[in-house]
Chain A
């Protein structure tokens, strides 16, 4: 089956609860350029996404760019089906796996192997799939001698390698990534890069919120530039990136 992502005029308002003080509310409103407004209940609402329209088809790899707070993560959550938009049409065809926080759910007391199962189940792998992939994950993470020790004994580098290895072992039609990739030492980074390429190749569509320009140019064929929750530009990578750079004054 061909995967597909289609959004038409998708808007999303994020209600912010727990802000009762008027002054605090005012302070917040002065922070951001008109992104905050009040709704009827007096709950502060952020217009997180506004009239987002674009579509992707099988084979596309999209880089999501824009400054922090421009709505990239929110858009990823909408694509993942976590947030339902307030208006507009969204249709996502294909098994979608969000890898937004790849360390989510890891447990200190469990061994590396048990964490592989936990994390695997969490991102939607079956037990057979996990069993089949475990040895590959262990080998890639270079943890052969440590995999049956509890996670709390691991160094930071070992953890990062393990979480990266598990998450990139997934088979999915659509993969959503949020800035995952500060991975270990230089040698491992090279391995990580080729593993990501592999992941890209297995999936039909990738959406990747990302800052690193080189990675975008290397791995994305399309770029969506977001600003204040709106689409500033969408199109072929080199075209959008040229404008983006110009806007930043580079």
Chain B
């Protein structure tokens, strides 16, 4: 029984991936809709993100008595990456509800909507990457050898965000309170995950970072860009979360595949 459900979910995933023309187009349209006829376009997001990163860094570097040249890149990369992760989940969990028109009028695989959210946020992330480049130019480059590791790190981060979005999306379609829970969870996660602080600054509360899987996932993108080789354990955590998570989501999707059009 379980394998049949997973197979249904897996077929959905394959069909969704093969419709890449559709979900990339949808993703672009969503970005363009928001910034149609504005001169800066999506770079408006980059600009506001840059201002936020800059002001947060200055304030917290002062509060925490940190050196700005090391604190700024840590916060900049952390926030840009966290935004990618949390927005995929935040938008993904309501995507079935907001796509109900499509789900009810044409026969589509379900995961194209999740892929659309992932794609859209990756495009925005690429725009925001400008901030990271500027910050690294300001603070100087250390150990450039590790830099390329951020690519597999980013990949793991995105597919982890993807399964969480797909799972919470199904729940949210059925239970309309669920997006609120997801958002509350994301907000708390932002504060307990080492983004504005380093895990070693936690002192005796170091375990908060140590046992926080999101901290591990995030460090796979941030550490390489800071010129640090991420811990092996972080790779293990991110990889196992991604594989177990996706297996579970495919099962869950297979189980409720037929119900989703009724729910949205």
Give A contacts to B, CB under 8 Å.
14-15, 17-18, 77, 80-84, 96, 98, 100-101, 104-105, 107, 109-110, 117-118, 121-123, 127
Q: Is B201 an interface residue (CB 8 A)?
A: no
Known A-B contacts A109-B36, A110-B29, A118-B29; A82 and B22 likewise in contact (beta carbons under 8 Å): no
Q: Is B107 an interface residue (CB 8 A)?
A: yes
Partner of A104, one of B25, B101, B176: B101
Please tell me if the beta carbons of A84 and B106 are within 8 angstroms of each other in the complex. no
List residues 138-181 of chain B with CB under 8 A from any CB of chain A.
174, 176
Please tell me if the beta carbons of A122 and B106 are within 8 angstroms of each other in the complex. yes
Chain B hits for A122, CB < 8 A: 22, 102, 106
User: In the assembled complex, how far is the CB of residue A85 from the closest CB belonging to chain B, in whole angstroms?
Assistant: 9
Q: Is B33 an interface residue (CB 8 A)?
A: yes
List residues 212-264 of chain B with CB under 8 A from any CB of chain A.
258, 261-263
Give B contacts to A, CB under 8 Å.
19, 21-22, 25, 29, 32-33, 36-37, 101-107, 174, 176, 258, 261-263
Chain A hits for B103, CB < 8 A: 82
Partner of A82, one of B21, B32, B104, B174: B104
Chain A hits for B104, CB < 8 A: 77, 82
Partner of B107, one of A18, A80, A104, A109: A80
Chain B hits for A123, CB < 8 A: 106
- Grouping DSSP codes into helix (H, G, I), strand (E, B) and loop, the A interface class, with mixed when no group exceeds half, is loop
Known A-B contacts A84-B258, A121-B22; A104 and B263 likewise in contact (beta carbons under 8 Å): no
Chain B hits for A82, CB < 8 A: 103-107, 261
| A-B residue pairs, 4 tightest by C-beta | A84-B258, A109-B36, A81-B107, A121-B22
Chain A hits for B106, CB < 8 A: 80, 82, 98, 100, 104, 122-123
Give the nearest-CB partner of A104 in chain B.
B105
Chain A hits for B262, CB < 8 A: 14-15, 83
